Amino acid sequence: MSTTSDPNPAHATAVPTSRAGTLALVGLLAVVTMIGPFTIDTIFPAFEVIGRDLGGDKVELQQLISIYLLSFAAASIVHGPLSDALGRKPVMVGGLLLYAGASVLCALATSMPLLLLARAVQGLFAGAGLIIARTVVRDLYSGPDAQRFMSQMSMVFGIAPAIAPIVGGWLLGWSSWQGIFWVLAVYGVLLAGLVALGLPESHPPQDRTPVRVGPIVRSLWQCTTDVPVLRLAAAAALNFAGLFLYISSAPAIVVDHLGLGERDFGVLFIPIVGAMIVGSWLSGRLAERTPKHTLVMVGFGLSLIGAAFQVAHEAVSSPSLPWTVAAPAFLGIGMALAFPVIMLDLLELRPRQRGTVSSVQSLSNTLLNALVAGVVSPFVSHSMTVLALVAGACTLAAAGLWMWHVRVHPAVADSAAVSTDDSTDTTTDA
């Protein structure tokens, strides 16, 4: 198997030459990206205890998710441009260490306002790993290799939402809600060390933007006003939003609808993550033999089947296992099948500004997730039918944006994977 199809010789020393080295690199990047769902999902089982200890109501507890996502979004627009200017590795290591410090602040919080403030600080630095890891994959690989490795990374990443609430429940039984944040702090320090020792620098000095405010701001402006970039960034965000609606509504689904306890979140998250792993595996396996448009549309179709099944089931029966978790499972496999293709096409639009483009995607994704967690979920999670209808609407919107992209770039429908020379940008004004 080829390790890379990137013609840029500057990357030659950074790309692992063995299969073991490649898998180690993909595994490291995937573990780094897991910090996002871990930070969100580990505290779900502790909501009731935190509310009791710090005097927070249900709305305030839900803001532990949304305020984190809002600060994550605000900072995400900076991480990518900084990595374009300074290199991928130093920005990632610095972000992870600062994230660990913010997790300590969360553990030491003595009131709900202080915990919300600490969560906001945590969100400022949590995005560095996720944003830059995806960029590193496309720095080092192209064509089917890039899609395959992005899919493999997504498979490992997909484990986090399943095990995070389970780990949170265990930690809550073993220690306290503060113990969850102490573990996240240690996790951040360990990841920073692994990145410092094991990650090659994939963005050589000759390819970097000047370390000055003007060029960085100009790069941001170019990407945030580029219609194709915004179109695919929105498609990727909406593709995930339907699934995230179920994830952010997990306390209501597990406790209120299914009548289970704080240590039973696995009944929802394990099927979701198993489906995401299957979808990611299929996306990688089919990278060289299936047109990208076909993969994406099959993914959207599976997501819509899940939403339709949920509506049909709720029309004839009350929430119950295993049927209530079937819809999010279909959404998981559909999202994972489509996401690597959409993300790689997005990173192809501006090859020399991949970090910035990744930041734009992360910003749009996180802002939408914050809206879903803080506004949409509290109003729709009372009804599994309404929840499914909203999730399906997100998928339909994503499908519409993707079909617009294919209409403007007809070659996408016929190609099996991207393989674009890095010498020029490929954006259009369409």
Comparing C-alpha atoms, which of 366, 362, 390 is closest to residue 40?
A: 366
Locate all alpha helices (DSSP H) within 34-111, ordered by sequence.
35-41, 47-54, 58-86, 88-108
Kindly state the tokens that stand for 242: 């339907």
**CA 56 to CA 266: how far, in whole Å?**
25
Residue 149 within a domain: yes
Residue 27 within a domain: yes
Residue 5 within a domain: no
Overall domain count for the chain: 1
Comparing C-alpha atoms, which of 297, 343, 89 is closest to residue 201?
A: 89
pLDDT digits (tens, 9 = 90+) for 370-415: 788 778 888 888 889 999 999 999 999 999 999 999 888 766 655 5
**CA 121 to CA 106: how far, in whole Å?**
9
Residue 309 within a domain: yes
Query: Which residues, 6 or more positions from 54, have their beta carbon under 8 angstroms from its beta carbon?
Result: 109, 110, 111, 112, 115
Residue 70 within a domain: yes
Residues making up the chain, counted from first to last: 430
- Amino acid at position 370, single letter: A
**CA 199 to CA 192: how far, in whole Å?**
10
Cα four-point dihedral sign 46, 50, 51, 56 = negative
pLDDT digits (tens, 9 = 90+) for 3-55: 334 434 444 445 665 667 677 777 788 888 888 778 887 887 888 888 888 88
Residue 59 CB burial class (10 angstroms; 0-12, 13-18, ≥19): exposed
Residue 31's CATH number: 1.20.1250.20
**Contact call for residues 143 and 150 (beta carbons, < 8 A):** no
Q: What is the pLDDT along the chain (430 residues), one digit of tens a residue?
A: 333 344 344 444 456 656 676 777 777 888 888 887 788 878 878 888 888 888 877 777 878 887 887 888 788 778 777 887 788 888 889 999 999 999 999 999 988 999 999 999 998 898 787 778 777 877 777 766 776 777 767 666 667 766 777 788 788 778 788 889 999 999 999 999 998 888 887 777 777 777 667 777 787 788 888 899 999 999 999 998 988 899 888 888 888 888 887 667 778 878 888 888 888 878 877 777 778 888 899 999 999 999 999 999 888 888 888 888 888 899 989 988 888 889 888 888 887 777 778 778 878 887 887 788 778 888 888 889 999 999 999 999 999 999 999 888 766 655 554 444 444 444 444 5
Residue 292 within a domain: yes
Question: For residue 217, how many other CB atoms are within 10 A of its CB?
Answer: 11
Residue 25 within a domain: yes
Residue 424 within a domain: no
**Domain range for residue 101?**
15-414
